[in-house]
Amino acid sequence: MLIKNAKVFIDGQFHDTEVKFNEKQILEIGNDLQDDEVIDAKGAYLYAGVIDAHCHGGFMRSFGHETRTDSSGSRDEQVRYLARKLPETGVTTVFPTLAMDLTNFREEAEAVRHVRSIRSTLEGADLLKFHFEGTYLTLDRYIEEGGEYPLPTKEHSDFLTSGDYSDVGFICVAPEMEGALEWMDYVVSKGVIPEAGYTKCTAEQMIEAADHGLATCSHIFNGYEPMHHRKSNAVVGIMLDDRIKAQITMDGFHVNPAWVKLVIKTKGIENCYGITDLSSVSGLPDGDNILADGTKVVTRDGFNWRTDGHILSGNMTCNQIMKAAHQKVGLTREEVGSLFTENPAKCLRISDRGKIEVGRKSDLILMDDDYQVLKTVINGKVFYEKQ
């Protein structure tokens, strides 16, 4: 198959070129290519399929076991729906994010086993690796009185993963916790990236954690103590150490646009990447919403809140948040392309997809000027086409 007449995003720039591919990989990039099957992009933008490294679910469905989404079908039905639905938003690879009840890790371990049992039969987005968010945390506002919160240990992580780390991307930890550095050494030896988040650590503790393999952070600024000019804190450490890649929510609200631009300027865009943090309760109408388990979610102006005023996870799909990054945050189209389509692969050490390059997986998306997804190609075949 061949795509021509597209603005092709490669290495941070748009190029007037053509892309030829089969069901396994990208074969050629150049001009005047030939193939029996041709897609005329008619000037649309062609990107590598998005790798969303932080996604809980969406559309009242969850990758984990959440009673509030029970009305949307069985666990099996919800995961299958998400795999099929996400390509409509530009996502072709997803890291299922598990962070349900932070004191009930049996459910989290069961969610891992469930996804593994059906992964090979799913159609649509590839559920590549697991992301365990907020697993080992210290930040006061996320800790409930009387709750039992585990320390980062080999035994606890082995329980979560059934001792199999082959499909685990990263696990979140507060670096100052007892045993955290030794735990990092252990999971790094298993091929897992330790992720910072929900922490009260100092900048110095964050940098020491990077010495032990900590290499990314859960949505910078969200889940950390506020920055203060007289205090060393976690965000300062992340900003200072480019070994730690900055995951950023760029919907224009969770992080003020000026702060988004500051972290990109400080760390360099190559050390930053975008996510959706898409929540299972995304897409609710404005107003007071009562969920299946009795939970009340207040939705206003396109964002979700708890009744205590705490803002919840993302409410924008991938293409919507790319549009917000461009129009609300004020990033250039090239910056948005880098942050969402090439940088996740670069920052998370993924080399078989995430970039339009000969030999990489033939996962591609065509978007219009307004970031509407026109076509999504997965494994060299058109999986979604806008009607």
Residue pLDDT, tens place only, 191-202 = 999 999 999 999
> Averaged over 153-157, what is the pLDDT?
96
> What is the pLDDT at residue 314?
84
> What is the pLDDT at residue 71?
87
The percent of residues in the chain predicted with pLDDT above 70, rounded, is 98
> What is the pLDDT at residue 78?
97
Q: Which CATH number fits domain 50-351: 3.20.20.140, 3.40.50.10860, 3.40.50.150, 1.10.3720.10?
A: 3.20.20.140
Residue-wise pLDDT tens digits, 34-80: 999 999 999 999 999 999 999 999 999 999 988 888 889 999 999 99
> What is the pLDDT at residue 103?
60
Is the CA virtual torsion 260, 217, 131, 355 positive or negative?
positive
Predicted confidence (pLDDT) at residue 100 exceeds the cutoff of 60: no
> What is the pLDDT at residue 300?
87
> What is the pLDDT at residue 69?
87
> Averaged over 202-225, what is the pLDDT?
97
Q: Assign 101 a pLDDT band (cuts: 50, 70, 90).
A: low
> What is the pLDDT at residue 43?
98
Residue-wise pLDDT tens digits, 247-289: 999 999 999 999 999 999 999 999 999 999 999 988 888 899 8
Predicted confidence (pLDDT) at residue 146 exceeds the cutoff of 80: no
> What is the pLDDT at residue 148?
73
> What is the pLDDT at residue 316?
93
Predicted confidence (pLDDT) at residue 226 exceeds the cutoff of 90: yes
Contact between 12 and 337 under an 8 Å Cβ cutoff? The reply is yes
The angle formed by the CA atoms of residues 218, 351 and 28, to the nearest 5 degrees, is 135
CATH code for residues 2-46+368-385: 2.30.40.10
- The domain segmentation of the chain, as residue ranges, is 2-46+368-385, 50-351
Which is higher by pLDDT, 212 or 297?
A: 212
Predicted confidence (pLDDT) at residue 311 exceeds the cutoff of 90: no
The percent of residues in the chain predicted with pLDDT above 90, rounded, is 83
Lowest mean pLDDT among 128-132, 139-143, 157-161, 330-334: 139-143
To the question of pTM greater than 0.85 for the whole model, the response is yes
Q: Please compute Rg for the chain using Cα positions.
A: 20
> What is the pLDDT at residue 99?
85
Predicted confidence (pLDDT) at residue 133 exceeds the cutoff of 60: yes
Average pLDDT, the chain: 95
